[in-house]
Structure 1
Amino acid sequence: MPNGQRIEVLDSIRGLASFSVVIHHTLIATPIFLAAHYHESIENNLVKVLTSSPLHVLWGGHEAVLLFFVLSGFVLSLPFLNQRSPKYSQYLIKRICRIYIPYILSIALSAGLLFLLNPSNISDLSDWFNGMWSSSITGKTIFSSLLMLDYHVHNLNTVTWSLVHEMRISIIFPILIFFIIKYTWRKSLLIGIFLSLFACIANVLVYRTIQNDAVFLLVTSLSSTVYYTNFFIIGAVVAKHRHQIIPKIKRLNSSYKFTILAVSLALYCSEWIIPKLGYYKYNGDIIQTTLTTFILDLIIMTGIIILFTLVLSSSTFKKILLNRYLLGLGKISYSLYLVHIIVLLSIIHFFKYDVPFGILLLIVPIISVFVAILFYKYIEFPSISLANRIVNNKNRSDSKTIVATRYSIKK
């Protein structure tokens, strides 16, 4: 099957993952689901079932972000692996326009609505929710947002922490892919795991030694970027070896494939199926938290890799995922990721005195999809088109320069 179709299938997965992030944030806006998220003791049986079972896949926010990182590594590597490596300048222009322009406009939109709605604390909702739009915008916030420094992101658009790392890793990705192409998959995986371990050790040392808040935030942000580089590497390694992996899975019968699917989802939800590990992730000391996070993320990543290879190998799963509605969700997935927090905050603060919170939270995912469609049409797609125009104009300019040079040499 052509590469483009494979990517379409993965786009549907990206869309579903993005929607699961929307559900995740909508649910943890309530105190009971936030407590469940931190593995605190919960008496509500429905919340227990939705949390500590594979059903958590429906609202696995952290897991979805790891999936985005692996998927980025997979997709970004394809041109390099297919001998169609773009010029670095062209690659960088496309990544900046693709990521940065929608990102910064979402920040501006959130800042504008913060100013207009003048929100206040809502006691019925969670501390996580009330931490957003809770402080005024300062020059430091603007400076940090413009340069993607990962400072105070929760106040304006909490999801943008991941875009900081996405942008940084994208900048160095052509260097990473050079080594991934050169080395065996074992060496590449070892390099990725080493980077994550190095970042974990750095975080522990920084936590124990650095007292200055600004330096602490900067160093931990950079070490997090190093940590998440591993997931890009894994995605690229899977892309490199997909032609060897996929035929082996294709030969399996349907029962084996559904068993593999169940295993991948269990690994994906490992934090919630093994709640003791999840508890230490949020409630242990710095070493316990760091080590548990590292182990769980490796398990989740394994589940993601299995899922990717499975859907690329199964005609049944492809048929399901190539549904036009899922493809449409995949198309707007980045816009949905960017705007849903703004929709959540706007709806709650605008209607908080007139409509029960339960109803408001129910309509947030639906409204988010419609707003994402508009954001994609008027912000994201024009940003992509702008990148293509800049690259095409640069190519034409370069071609004219080459022709003119050749003509002058002949003369």
Structure 2
Amino acid sequence: MTKGSPVTQPPATTHGQGRISSLDGLRGTAAAAVVINHAVLTIPVFAALDYNIPVQHTWFEWAFTYTPLHLFWAGNESVMVFFVLSGLVLTLPIMAHRSHFDWRAYYPQRLVRLYVPLAASVALALVWATTVVRRTDPALSYWVNLHHQELTPWRVLLDVFVVTGASKLNSPLWSLQYEVLFSLLLPLYILIATRLRAHPWVLAGIALAASTIGRATHIGILQYLPVFALGVLLAVHWNEVSDIAQRIQSSASSRLIWTVITIATSAAFTCTWAIVGLPAALHAVDFAFPIVIASAVVIVFISAQTGTARRLLTTPAITWLGKVSFSLYLVHEPIIVSAALLARPDWEWLAALLSIPVAVTVGWTFNLLIERPSHSLARRVARAISASDRLSAGTEIARHQYEATRRGSKP
């Protein structure tokens, strides 16, 4: 950030603040990084470098993979941003209305918003996979070949429910497994964060340590669920976080501070790839994971709290991308894989480039036809449950009043 990029818009400093539009833009840019990541992985040399398979490569291919240039296609890292964002944006409104938040309405509303688009995306992916049959071919990239698998009705059903993971039919759904589990466990996250409010750094340290252990032991739940906790901690301590941004901005060296934070965060966010690019340091990759997570938290902080980031992330194009980001995330991969399979030999670059606007167009259509109606349905379900609760509560009060009146009228 530059000083010409100070916090010119006042950051949200209370739990009662409205929707933070720049975070929608951040979600859109993260979704774009995932899409670009998968398009790049259809190129055999980049897929080999990504999976650490020995391959002949140019200096540009090496630099695009193993330097901070990887930021443009940092797909896995961007999912960590999604997880932090989910923890933050789900918790903020609850903290604002904690005393009367309707948990009975929250659960069906949240599950409808997740599962209706998810199920539709699985159906659409099945159409792509049966229309453009998945196969293995030495001319295809290693990543594209991974999508050749036997699809059974049971496997497709598991993809719809997603809590046990996702197949290669639409592999980005793996992250929805943890989104669903976090959504179900949200009251526990908030309870712990508020009960131990005086010790946020201890909780953050525990979350980072747990994720590191999960990464090293390949236990997904232990690796990813603590990432959501960092977003919850941000929300619970949102006022203090905003104060930090205000103090930085009031500093005489604010331009230098924001510049250093931005450059360091960008480098740290892709540090895993810098380490992989150094053969002698391969053993340190697992221990770089908490640095990536911490960087994702700082990226969310910068995006919500600094003026330049908020302006950039609320431009019309980025705002639109944020609106369709979930749909784009759900539908893009089967399209990109299909394009790679349909392409003529040595045309993988063209197929990768053309698949991106096709995926964006389908994502936009999916947003209009599936995601937005699912949001409306979720709100109607929540209102119906809340109205039912109010009716039941009113009936119970009336019954007690009636019984009290009868007791009072007895001789």
Task: Mark the structure with the bigger radius of gyration.
Answer: 2
Give the aligned partner of residue 119 of structure 2.
104
What is the aligned partner in structure 2 of residue 261 from structure 1? 262
What's the offset of the Cα at 1:343? 1.4
* Structure 2 equivalent of residue 210 of structure 1: none
Give deviations 1:165-214, integer Å, cap 9, x for gaps: 1111221121111110111202322432353355357x3xxxxxxxxxxx
Deviation at 1:43, TM superposition (A): 2.8
Q: Structure 2 CA distance, aligned partners of 1:175 and 1:185?
A: 16
**Residue 243 of structure 2 corresponds to residue 230 of structure 1:** no
Partner of 2:247: 248
**Counterpart position of 2:38:** 25
Structure 1 residues 197, 169: closer, same or farther in 2, change over 3 A?
A: same
Q: Contact (CA 8 Å) 1:280, 1:292: kept in 2 or not?
A: yes
Cα offset, 1:71, TM superposition: 1.1
Distance 1:317 1:200, change over 3 A: closer
Cα 1:404/1:81, change in 2 over 3 Å = closer
Specify whether residues 346 and 141 from structure 1 end up closer, same or farther in structure 2 by C-alpha distance, changes over 3 A only.
same
Specify the alignment match of 2:109 in structure 1: 94
* SS of aligned partner of 2:20: helix
TM-align CA RMSD = 2.4
For structure 2, which runs of at least 5 residues remain unmatched after alignment?
1-10, 403-411
Contact persistence 1:53–1:272 (CA under 8 A): yes
Task: Report the Cα offset of residue 4 of structure 1.
Answer: 5.7
Amino acid at match of 1:193: L
Paired position in structure 1 for 2:235: 239
Q: Give the one of 268, 292, 302 matched to 2:285.
A: 292
- Report the Cα distance in structure 1 between the residues aligned to 2:149 and 2:207, rounded to whole angstroms: 38
Offset at 1:277? 6.8
Task: Say if 1:336 and 1:368, in contact at 8 Å, map to a contact too.
Answer: yes
C-alpha separation in 2, matches of 1:292 and 1:332:
33
Evaluate the alpha carbon distance shift between residue 397 and residue 149 of structure 1 in structure 2; reply closer, same or farther with a 3 A threshold: closer
Question: Cα distance 1:406–1:96, how it changes in 2: closer, same or farther (>3 A)?
Answer: same
SS of 1:120 mapped into structure 2: coil
- Structure-to-structure mapping, 1:193-342, within 5 angstroms: 193-196=208-211, 199=214, 203=217, 223-244=219-240, 245-252=244-251, 253-275=254-276, 288=283, 292-293=285-286, 295-342=287-334
Larger RCO: 1 or 2 (CA < 8 Å, sep 6+): 2
Tell me the CA shift for residue 355 of structure 1.
Answer: 9.9
In the alignment, does 2:343 pair up with 1:352?
Answer: yes
One-letter code aligned to 2:152: T
Structure 2 distance, partners of 1:373, 1:276, is: 37
Provide TM-score, normalisation by structure 1: 0.85
Contact 1:335 1:372 (8 Å CA) reproduced: yes
Measure the CA separation in 2 of the matches of 1:120 and 1:332.
30
TM-score by length of 2: 0.85
The one-letter code sitting in structure 1 at the alignment partner of 2:202 is K
Contact map agreement 2:269 2:291 (CA 8 A) in 1: yes
Residue 168 of structure 2 aligns to a residue whose secondary structure is helix
User: Residue in 2 aligned with 1:214?
Assistant: none
Per the TM alignment, residue 357 of structure 1 is displaced from its structure 2 partner at its CA by: 2.9
Q: Does 1:76 align with 2:68?
A: no
Higher mean Cα deviation, 326-335 or 241-250? 241-250
- Decide whether aligned partners of structure 1 residues 302 and 119 sit closer, same or farther in structure 2, where only a CA change above 3 A counts: closer
Note the C-alpha offset of 1:147.
3.1
Deviation at 1:391, TM superposition (A): 0.7
What is the letter of the counterpart of residue 165 of structure 1? Y
Q: 1:167 to 1:374 in 2, by over 3 A?
A: same
In 1, are the aligned partners of 2:81 and 2:300 still within 8 Å (CA)?
no
Partners of 2:187 and 2:143 in 1: CA distance: 37
Cα pair 1:272 1:278 within 8 Å, conserved = no
Asked if 1:182 is matched to 2:195, the reply is yes
Unaligned runs of 5+ in 1: 204-219, 282-287
Specify which of 107, 116, 123 is matched with residue 131 of structure 2. 116
How far is the alpha carbon of 1:61 from its aligned partner?
1.0
Work out whether residues 15 and 332 of structure 1, in 8 Å CA contact, stay in contact via their aligned partners in 2: yes
Q: Who is 2:3 aligned against?
A: none
Cα drift, residue 116 of structure 1: 3.0
- CA drift at 1:368: 1.1
1:376 aligns to 2:367 (yes or no) = yes
Q: Is the CA contact (8 Å cut-off) linking 1:36 and 1:42 kept in structure 2? A: no
Matched, 1:145 2:137: no
